[in-house]
Homo-oligomer: A and B are copies of this chain.
Amino acid sequence: MSVQTENPPFATLYAELQQFYARHMHLLDTGAAEEWAETFTEDGTFLSPSLTEPVRGRTAIAAGVRESAARLAEAGETHRHVLTTVDVTPRPDGSLFARSYTQVIATPHGGQARLHLMCVCEDVLVLAGDGFRVRERRVTRDDMP
């Protein structure tokens, strides 16, 4: 239990990070575009193999969510991002590096749920006054290694 004397204690950091990610994914999956974008820093970036170039800044990030939500509504499907297996490393500059797994589960309305994608999510997070923000996200997909 070597982290006991750190400030904030590791238990606080880990619980608040898990809570952050949970709320973050509930916002994404309910299409709450602006609230989701606010869980990134103002200049936050998002890189993913599904994208032709990185998304930069809250306006672009929110637009991406609205576009996905519209596409899913059109298709009559719900997606859930199940983020687990969080390995977090505090960095000397006060930021955090977190590596996690994300299962994307897709369910057509009236149909059968399926595992759509298996991803690894690598985030750099910073603490703002009232909680975490994602500054950089890099997603990789296991089907596109």
Residues of A within 8 A of B (CB): 1-4, 8-16, 18-19, 21-23, 25-26, 78, 80, 82-88, 99-101, 103, 105, 107-118, 127, 129-131, 142-145
Contacts and interface: CB of A to CB of B under 8 A. Distances in A.
Nearest to A100: B22
Contact of A78 (B11, B18, B22, B142): B142
B22 A16 contact: no
A80 B143 contact: no
Given A78-B145, A111-B143, A113-B143, 17 more contacts: A1-B16, A10-B12, A14-B15, A25-B101, A26-B85, A78-B142, A80-B142, A82-B85, A82-B101, A83-B85, A84-B85, A105-B118, A107-B118, A108-B143, A109-B142, A112-B143, A113-B117
Tally of this chain's copies: 3
